[in-house]
Structure 1
Amino acid sequence: MEPIRFDTKIAVLLRDDLLAWQSLNVSAFLVSGIAAALPDLVGEPYEDADGTSYLAMFRQPVLVFSGGKEVLAAAHSRAVARGLPMSVFTSDLFSTGNDRDNRSAVRAVRRDDLDLVGLALHGPKNAVDKVLKGSRMYRS
């Protein structure tokens, strides 16, 4: 069997000063946005040998990167310029407790002034790689 290759990439970019719990929480929220907007990226449900069913997950890997505040701002600008589907998480969202307040917190800030702590995007591999320039693979 030949290895499966993907023409696209799903990537999460996290600010490098987050606490471990924040990185995990932000990653989970961000990839939920990708799954919701791009349901074709989700595969079939899983089932174990005993017939227990499990939820479907992405059909391809999700790569996680990190970088400083400037790296996130630059990546955000490049993703917007390329029109890539993207979810964002700002520092304000750590103090909200629901989707309505999250959306209001983001809506209250101009695009270039967002205090980004994470973003997730999907697109052609080369475009995503260009957006992520200056970041590095995430290490806990």
Structure 2
Amino acid sequence: MPRTPPFETVRALQQALAVEGVLSVVGGSGLLVSLGLTDEAHDWDLVLPPGTVEAVERVLAAKGLGAQRAPGGHPRFATEALFTVDAGDHSIDVLVGFAIRTDDGVVTVPARAGASWRGLVMARADDWAVAYRAMGRDARAQLLEGAT
């Protein structure tokens, strides 16, 4: 049986964003678990298209979710905004305009819907294979490339 953080908060956040007209998808280890490629996720990664920062801030405030916006940038990521939501016993990373810096330039990771799983809209495996390659996490990329 796969081990994941509870679904309630990430599901409610994704649904509230959808009401605002903003598509969000779950990627990262949650995507791997949904595809049966690994058996554990410690947190959720929610990816949104660029230009949706204000909608995220409105939804987080309306839901009363404690979230920290990462100040400045991370040298490895070119993401428009990163919010870390405290969901009690786990966290939810909300990535607006997810992008990764590589030696060859910036790789953007689109927020495109794949399958549904347990009431969540999941990311597309091929998008996250590209993301993991750009991050140098080749073993995870290979798992996803085999799933597409």
Using the size of structure 2 for normalisation, the TM-score is 0.26
Q: Going by fraction, where is helix more abundant, 1 or 2?
A: 1
Bigger RCO (CA 8 Å, 6+ sep): 1
- Bigger Rg, structure 1 or 2: 1
Normalization by structure 1: what TM-score?
0.27
